[in-house]
Amino acid sequence: MTTTDTYRVTGMTCEHCVAAVTEELSALDDVTSVAVDLVPGGTSTVTVESSAPLDPATVAEAVDEAGYALAGPRDLPLA
């Protein structure tokens, strides 16, 4: 079973930021893919697919380790 979670991340401004967040999240157990929709200087959207549900605190720690922060609700509405 694949789980997909969408997060809002603040502070990213460039592709280096995207690479840092992608690297940290990809290193988490069970993560199979990470996609980032960069909004330079705004709130970017990060979609994480995993083979098992992820602990939101673990995701927040990984994003923090990359130098950024989650913003608002963990999951975004799909429409």
**What is the pLDDT averaged over residues 4-19?**
95
User: Which tens digit of pLDDT belongs to each residue from 45-70?
Assistant: 999 999 999 998 999 999 999 999 99
pTM of the model: 0.87
Say what the alpha-carbon torsion angle 57, 15, 35, 7 is, to the nearest 10 degrees.
Answer: 40
Answer whether residue 1 shows pLDDT above 90. no
Domain ranges of the chain: 1-42+61-73
pLDDT higher than threshold 60 for residue 76:
no
CA-nearest of 8, 5, 11 to 45 is 8
If one looks up domain 1-42+61-73 in CATH, what number appears?
Answer: 3.30.70
Share of the chain above pLDDT 90, in %: 85
